[in-house]
Chains A and B, each alone.
Chain A
Amino acid sequence: EFNLSFRYATNAIKTSKYNVFTFLPLNLFEQFQRIANAYFLVLLVLQVIPQISSLSWFTTVVPLILVLSVTAAKDAIDDIVILPSFCRQTLSCLTIHLFHTFSLGFQADLLLLSSSEPLNLVYVETAELDGLKKEPTHPVRCEPPNNRLDRFTGTLTFAGQKYSLDNEKILLRGCTLRNTEWCFGLVLFAGPETKLMQNCGKSMFKRTSIDRLMNILVLCIFGFLAFMCFVLAIGNYIWETNEGSGFTVFLPREDGVSAGFSTFLTFWSYIIILNTVVPISLYVSVEIIRLGNSFYIDWDRKMYHANSDTPAEARTTTLNEELGQIKYVFSDKTGTLTQNIMVFNKCSINGKSYDLRISPLCLLFPLLPPQSKNAVDFSFNPLADPRFVFHDHSLVEAVKLESPEVHTFFRLLALCHTVMAEEKTEGELSYQAQSPDEGALVTAARNFGFVFRSRTPGSISIVEMGNQLSYELLAILDFNNVRKRMSVIVRSPEGKLSLYCKGADTLIYEKLHPSCSKLMDLTTEHLNEFAGEGLRTLALAYKDLDEEYFDQWKRRHHEASTSLDDREGQLDLLYEEIEKDLLLLGATAIEDKLQDGVPQTIEQLAKADIKVWVLTGDKQETAENIGYSCNLLREEMTEVFVISGHSVDEVHQELRTALNAMKPETAEDSVFLSEAATGKGAEAAEDEAVSGDYGLVINGHSLAYALEHSMELDFLRTACLCKAVICCRVTPLQKAQVVELVKKYKRAVTLAIGDGANDVSMIKAAHIGVGISGQEGMQAVLSSDYSFAQFRFLQRLLLVHGRWSYLRMCKFLRYFFYKNFTFTFVHFWFAFFCGFSAQTVYDEWFITLYNLMYTALPVLGMGLFDQVTVTWSFQYPQLYVPGQRNLYFSKRAFFKCALHSCYSSLLLFFIPYAALQDTVRDDGKDVADYQSFALLTQTCLMFMSYWTAVNTFFVLGSLAMYFAVTFTLYSNGMFLILPAAFPFLGTGRNSLSQPSVWLTVLLTSILCVLPVVTYRFLLTQLCPSINDKARQAKATPPPPSQRTRIRRTSSRRSGYAFSHAQGYGDLVTSGRYLRRPAVPRPSGFANMGRATTGFSPMGRSAGYSPTGRPQNAKAQNVEVTSLQMYRTIQEPAL
């Protein structure tokens, strides 16, 4: 075969870095690229120069090897455990594949050859890649592998003819076939050559602010180290010229070593001795702590979702402490705040309200078949969807009694929609709805005996109470944003012409016949009631049409729809005309079900001073509605601004008005401010405070203007003054832009949470990305840093894990720097007494083991096991605030910590110095010995404000280990083995038996601890922090549990139940996309469907997914966002 003559890439994607043989060299090479490790390598080199070496080589080698091996082990584990999930996605290559299942995702880039569909169309869900519709072709010259998703060039030679290939004919890896039974494809690129993998690249490396600070500090420490050594070298010069020259009697200078040269050598010697200020184990310890905290997230049962069997997952291990500093949360709506399950909850028919509460059981487990006894029995209806639960028997009775209003009500629901039905086998119906709302309504009708069965461009077949009927579909008056309603005109089998209309109540009410005013009042009452509960309502109305009038209208409609100028306006007028004098039927109420605990979570986050911005592709009304029901917007709010201008000036004006309302005094200078701020860059946009709660709702098109450079600061300022911000109808790109904007001007940590492919950009842009897993699309999760199944877990992730990680990390760092500084500064002081000769105070083994053994466990223990009571975190979300303000580890805190260690080291040196002066057993090394001991004791005591069992064990263990190791090292045996390495023989025995030594230890320890205790106590008393208050309040009983979801009492009308922009009535009627009758019948009205603004059925937006559903009856509902990013959403439980 021709192909075999080439070596093509296999489809196995190698995402692991190492293999068995390359591991050691590669890993070592990589590790020595880290500045800290490289530094220690340099130190090691210095140490083998005898003139300089002030410490034996092993003091550096032992810790270095330990650190390297720990890191290597971690890398190896990462490589083995984490990455192979990708490797499993392998596929043999370069063969033509037959895809049986339409939901199969492609694992290679394919050239589409043919498919099961008529016209060989396939519907592709491309998720992250973009929506593309494909037509198949046939073998091939093509471009080399590249990462351009949106273009492809190649030629196909078939039967002597050349055909050009373009993007339209390619199926990319990562796509999912939707409604197609099978298709043939030719693999073009496989494995790493696929466009998706070429695109993955190295995703942006996220670092935490503490990381950055740490790097700066380490650099500062380097500088400080150099400074100290310089001072000591100068000291050495002075000593050498004054004292040293005299002392040559007993210590002659080596040949050629003058005072100047000795100074130079001393500098490097001190670099070696004082190297412990740059903590070698810092990075490793930090990584261990982060890893541990990540595991805690993975292990947390309270973030485990039993229903979907999904535990939380920390996908990155490097960002934990940042979770404790989040200031802005950007949330997607659908699938994140809501379950995207539409529940037909209530209805009002002819003035009678049917209150249909769903049992709590079913709320918890929407997927389970209802077995509760009081659920309505739909057994009379063989076509009923078994998963539908409804608890009001009176409605079924009404249906059975053939109440005409009730029948018309359900008939309307069964007829007036754009849902596609598929019936694979008899009675196995599945619906494909553009919006979940519609699906919910049609399904409800189905269950009450009005089963929508199939449609053709000109007819709708329904089964009405067991009778198969076919309605002639004469026109669809489609939905759009202005009309906010849709109507169908049908001819019943009896020949009666009727118009059925459903839409926003306010608009329907204007169209009603005066005779229904009484019913209107009743229904309004019900609607208010529904809306008060945050349900999405629709009013339903109908009217019978007069044949003559309709004929005439139809003609005019035809004219209008073929006219060239202002077609839309003319059509609108016509629609208006026919949709009048309607008779009200009733109203439906649909619940866009929020995920459990969303309002509480948002409330908690608000208390923790975390601002939640909702960025959604939904319409303004829907988004606002959700905003209210999830507590983001509240009735008590002073004002909710709506920005929906269509031009720069309008938007600017609206923003200005909003700002003015909130801060009258500052609105004037805002222009000046924004100019000054843009000049200064990121300095701008400090947090401002306003009195009163405000909300901001901004539309996608206005957002486009608001994000322009000239206005972005105004927008940001206004938005940041508001307690809640909702951006609706935003594109994925805009989502990312908003996040970037906040990141750019606010020195705040952002978190983006979402579940779908359209959230990926935002998730990647934010400091921390969280993916909601368990839903269908995995794109969000794959690009996220953390993932879990429910939005409410965010609360725990931030308030508990985030706070803990942050606290632990900060404490750890302070502790760590403290202990190392203290340890090292003692050498600095000692230099003044040993002729600046780089003599160490401590035993070399102590230096070697200090970081690794004696003190590693207490710090690590603190980093891993320090626990703050969980209940606090929830009871006092305010405890989160210090993290946002970066209070616990900043340059200031670091400086304080350095000063403190300076104090401690002074004590540690001078107290033993004074105590030992002229005592009987005055032995040099004794000083070292118990200085180190005192140091150890008190460091352990220092920052340990919480003692868990493990911590205590570690501290005591470390002390015990210190003694054990000390005595071993100083024992006879060790000395006999290696005399040169263990010169401290007998020191332990001799000095630790002295009571004065112990008294000195006690004194030093107490002196180190007392001032801190005093300081803390006074601080607590004089200016208590939130922590102290919380601690104090711990004794008092906790406040009553969080308030339950607040019922809105106002009469604010909630959004009506069309969640999406343009209907696709024309698509439905055009026949192009229908399965069987592929005959494009140019029936008059079919083409009259509004072929309007940018809505081309051939265009990219046509890629809805009318599909049959699999046997387990998972309806695939599609939400269309503005960028036409399609994704399927979990089925409605209807």
Chain B
Amino acid sequence: MTTMKEEGNYANRPSNTAFTQQRLPAWQPMLSAGVVIPGFLLIGLAFIGIGVGLLITSRSIQVLELDYTGTETSSPCYQCTMSNQSNCVCKLSFSIGTLFKGPVFFYYGLTNYFQNQRKYGVSKDFNQLIGDVSYFKSPSSDCQPYQRVNGKPIVPCGAIANSMFNDTFKLYQIINGKEELVPFDGKGIAWWTDYNIKYRNPDYTPLKNAFNDTEKPVFWTKPAYELDTSDASNNGFINQDFLVWMRRAALPNFRKLYRRITEGNYKDGLPAGNYSLEISYNYPVISFEGTKKVTFSNVSWMGGQNEFLGIAYLVIGSMCVVMSVVMLIVYAKFRFPEED
């Protein structure tokens, strides 16, 4: 062709690529009846399946919950709610009808307790908690008003640590009128990462030396290095109970793992029978209208008992199925003409 010009004459011609010419491979899902209706049906059926599974699992979990706040006069812990009571101990009796399958988890629970309050939440010093001794002397100002007491720095400082849950529990099975102690396992109830990485004790032996010239938190009866007198390695910032407490709950009603029951005669669970729970009642909740409770529970593959998920799946699943029927009717009746 005589009309062809040299390539050089097309200096300004844009390049011809899929990108510049907007010809990228594309896929466009279409909401056609053939996809949507069967899709809904499938999702619905699958959800119903999952829902049923979840519900059955959830139902198989045994849960026993006991309130021991003691607001009612009939409650055995009522007398402990009186002021100027210290080292008050109360006993809660209950019975289990059938075998409570193990491993059994033992929780304490608090309600109306705002661990998720922002000011509460920031009230700690990370640097202290990883064992940096220099911060023992000068705790972070976040810890106010639990930064110092009597001019001495508080370790661990802050409202979270200060308000650590300090009720303790002992469980007895009543066998022939005799109380037999159910052994609690307090190991490994905190997250591995917390125990090994996030919290660490200062590298001092004995640990006590690290805490020279510091004060224990105001509400504490014992300093951090004496939290567990029975196990030396369970002290300081890596005390399991401390770790569990320091992991703040997201909601005002929460429960935290206290112990597991995995040992001895109770390896397979709590047999049927009468039990007595001895509580040393220290933690005040009445002032903010909170309640305290303990919970025995076992777990399944999907965690603790929660019927919500199963029910939700069931409801959504059936709604999908219903919707697919509705859509089918609409499609058959109103679909717009193909021509045009």
Q: Tell me the bound Cα distance from A950 to B130 in angstroms.
A: 44
Task: Indicate if the CB atoms of B193 and A986 lie closer than 8 Å.
Answer: yes
Chain A min CB distance to B149 (Å): 13
Within the complex, which residue of B14, B26, B54, B248 is in contact with A949, where a contact is CB–CB below 8 Å?
B26
* A203 adjacent to chain B (CB < 8 Å): no
Taking the complex as formed, is B97 at the interface, i.e. its CB lies under 8 A from any CB of chain A?
A: no
Binary interface encoding of chain A residues 1017-1045 relative to chain B, with 1 for a CB under 8 A from any of its CBs, else 0: 11011101000110111000000000000
Nearest chain A residue, comparing its CB with the CB of B145? A252
Q: Contact flags (1/0) for A807-845 with B, using CB distance below 8 Å?
A: 000000000000000000000000001110111100000
Q: Which residue of B lies closest to A1031 (CB)?
A: B30
Contact check, B105 vs A920: say whether CB atoms are below 8 A apart: yes
Q: Which residue of B lies closest to A970 (CB)?
A: B193
A995 within 8 A of B: yes
Tell me the bound Cα distance from A1014 to B297 in angstroms.
40
Instruction: State whether the Cβ of A143 lies closer than 8 Å to any Cβ in chain B.
Output: no
Q: Which B residues are CB-close (under 8 A) to A915?
A: 306, 308-309, 312
Chain A residue nearest to B250 in the complex (CB) = A924
The complex places the Cα of A737 from the Cα of B338 at a distance, in Å, of 46
Is B327 an interface residue, CB under 8 A from the partner? Answer: yes
B14, B33, B159, B330 — which one has the most chain A CB atoms within 10 A of its CB? B14
Interface flags for A885-929 (1: CB within 8 Å of B; 0: not) read 000000000000000000000000001011111111111111110
CB pair B118–A1021 under 8 Å, yes or no, is no
Question: Which residues of the other chain, A, contact B303 by a CB distance below 8 angstroms?
Answer: 919-921, 994-996
Partner of B323, one of A365, A1014, A1024: A1014
> Across the interface, do B247 and A923 meet the contact criterion of CB distance under 8 Å?
yes
* CB of A300 closer than 8 Å to a CB of B: yes
In the complex, whether B331 has a CB less than 8 A from a CB of chain A is yes
**Which of A299, A361, A371, A950 is within 8 Å of B24, CB to CB?**
A950
User: Residue-by-residue, is B111-133 near A (CB-CB < 8 Å gives 1, otherwise 0)?
Assistant: 01111111111010011011000
Is the C-beta of A523 less than 8 angstroms from some C-beta in chain B? no
A985, B197: Cβ atoms under 8 Å? Answer: yes
Cβ–Cβ contact A301 & B309, under 8 A:
no
Q: Please tell me if B2 contacts chain A, counting CB pairs below 8 Å.
A: yes
Chain A, range 929-965, C-beta contacts under 8 Å to B:
945-950, 952
Contact: A254 with B27, CB < 8 Å?
Answer: no
* Given A364-B3, A839-B121: A1000 touches B288 (CB 8 Å cut-off): no
B336 touching A301, Cβ below 8 Å = no
Q: Is the interface of A mostly helix, strand, loop or mixed?
A: helix
Alpha-carbon distance A999/B198, docked complex (angstroms): 28
Q: How far is the CA of A1010 from the CA of B218 in the complex (A)?
A: 53
Residue of B9, B116, B301, B338 with most chain A CB atoms under a 10 A cut-off = B116
Stretch at the interface among A97-105, A306-314, A649-657: A306-314
Task: Please count the residue pairs between chain A and chain B whose beta carbons lie under 8 angstroms apart in the complex.
Answer: 260
Report A-chain residues with C-beta under 8 Å of the C-beta of B117: 247, 251, 834-835, 837, 839
Q: A833-B252, A923-B250, A972-B193 are known contacts. Are A995 and B301 too (CB-CB below 8 A)?
A: yes
A246 at the interface (CB under 8 A from B): yes
Q: Are B309 and A924 closer than 8 Å at their CB atoms?
A: no
The smallest C-beta distance from A691 to any residue of chain B, in angstroms, reads: 21
Contact flag A914-B301 (CB < 8 Å), given A249-B284, A835-B117, A924-B115? no
Contacts of B284 in A (CB 8 A): 249
8 Å CB contacts to A: which residues of B225-282? Answer: 247-255, 257
Nearest-neighbour CB distance to chain B for A289, whole angstroms, equals: 14
CA distance A986 to B199 in the complex (A): 12
Contacts of B210 in A (CB 8 A): none
Q: Is B335 an interface residue (CB 8 A)?
A: yes
Report A285-318 residues with CB < 8 Å from chain B CB. Answer: 295-296, 298-302, 304, 306, 309-311
The answer to the question of B69 belonging to the interface, with a C-beta cut-off of 8 Å to chain A, is no
In contact, A983 and B251 (Cβ under 8 angstroms): no
CB neighbours (8 Å) of B40 from chain A are 1010, 1014
Is A1003 positioned at the interface, with any CB of B under 8 Å from its CB? yes
A1022 touches B334 (CB 8 A): yes
- Could you tell me which residues of chain B, from 300 to 340, have a CB within 8 Å of some CB in chain A? 301-306, 308-309, 312-313, 316, 320, 323, 327, 330-331, 334-336, 338, 340
A301 in contact with B308 (CB, 8 Å) = no
Across the interface, which residues of B come within 8 angstroms of A672, CB to CB? none
- Smallest Cβ-Cβ distance to A1000: which chain B residue: B309
Q: Is B150 an interface residue (CB 8 A)?
A: no
What is the CA–CA distance of A1022 and B112 in the complex, to the nearest angstrom? 49
User: Closest CB of chain B to A955's CB: distance in Å?
Assistant: 13
Q: Which of A388-396, A709-717, A973-981 contacts B (4 or more CB under 8 A)?
A: A973-981
Cβ-neighbour of B331 out of A50, A249, A914, A1021 (below 8 A)? A1021
Q: Is the CB of B24 within 8 A of A867?
A: yes
Taking a contact as CB atoms under 8 Å apart, the answer to whether B313 and A1003 are in contact is: yes
1/0 per position for A23-38, CB-CB distance to B under 8 A?
0000000000000000
A990 at the interface (CB under 8 A from B): yes
Report the minimal beta-carbon distance from B224 to chain A, rounded to whole angstroms: 18
Q: Which residues of A contact B250 (CB under 8 A)?
A: 833, 916, 922-928
Contact of B14 among A304, A870, A927 (CB under 8 A): A304
Is there contact, CB below 8 Å, between A54 and B118? yes
Contact with B along A223-255 (1 / 0, CB 8 A): 000000000000000000001001101111010
Measured CA separation A1128–B223 after assembly (Å): 96
B43 at the interface (CB under 8 A from A): yes
B25 is an interface residue with CB less than 8 A from chain A: yes
Contacts of A952 in B (CB 8 A): 27
- Closest chain B CB from A352 CB (angstroms): 32
Closest to B194 in A: A986
Asked if B10 and A309 sit within 8 Å, CB to CB, the answer is yes
For the complex, give the distance between the alpha carbons of A251 and B219 in Å: 12
Chain B residues in 8 Å Cβ range of A916 = 250-251, 306
Instruction: Judge if B83 is at the interface, Cβ distance under 8 Å.
Output: no
CA distance A1125 to B174 in the complex (A): 112
Is A1007 part of the binding interface, using a Cβ–Cβ cutoff of 8 Å?
yes
> Is the Cβ of B305 less than 8 Å from the Cβ of A918?
yes
Inter-subunit contact A249/B288 (CB<8 Å): yes
Question: Contact: A979 with B327, CB < 8 Å?
Answer: no
CB <8 Å contact, B197 and A976: yes
* A66 contacts B by Cβ under 8 Å: no
Instruction: Choose among A246, A985, A1016, A1032 the residue that contacts B193 (Cβ–Cβ < 8 A).
Output: A985
A309 and B36 in contact, given A915-B306, A922-B255, A990-B193 (Cβ under 8 angstroms): no
B159 contacts A924, CB within 8 Å? no
Residue of B nearest to A364 (CB): B3
A216 adjacent to chain B (CB < 8 Å): no
State the Cβ distance, B100 to closest chain A Cβ, in Å.
16
A946–B26 CB distance below 8 A: yes
Interface residues of A in 39-60 (CB under 8 A from B): 50, 54
What's the least CB distance linking B232 to chain A, in Å? Answer: 25
Q: Is B173 an interface residue (CB 8 A)?
A: no
CA of A925 to CA of B301, assembled, Å? 21
| Alpha-carbon distance A833/B249, docked complex (angstroms) | 11
User: What chain B residues lie within 8 Å of A865 (beta carbons)?
Assistant: 24
Residues from chain A with a CB closer than 8 A to the CB of B113 are: 247
Q: Return the contact of A251 from the options B5, B119, B141, B340 (Cβ within 8 A).
A: B119
- Show 22 A/B contacts (Cβ-Cβ < 8 Å), sorted by A: A243-B289, A249-B163, A251-B163, A310-B12, A371-B2, A835-B116, A867-B26, A915-B309, A917-B251, A921-B303, A925-B248, A947-B27, A947-B28, A950-B24, A972-B197, A980-B126, A999-B50, A1000-B309, A1018-B330, A1021-B330, A1029-B336, A1032-B338
Q: A913-B251, A1032-B336 are in contact. List 17 more A-B contacts (CB 8 A).
A: A249-B287, A250-B162, A251-B159, A299-B21, A368-B2, A914-B308, A915-B312, A917-B253, A918-B306, A920-B105, A952-B27, A979-B126, A979-B127, A986-B194, A999-B309, A1017-B31, A1032-B338
Mark A residues whose CB is within 8 Å of B.
50, 54, 243, 246-247, 249-252, 254, 269, 295-296, 298-302, 304, 306, 309-311, 361, 364-365, 368, 371, 804, 833-835, 837-840, 865, 867, 870, 911, 913-928, 945-950, 952, 972, 975-976, 979-980, 983, 985-986, 989-990, 994-996, 999-1000, 1003, 1006-1007, 1010, 1013-1014, 1016-1018, 1020-1022, 1024, 1028-1029, 1031-1033
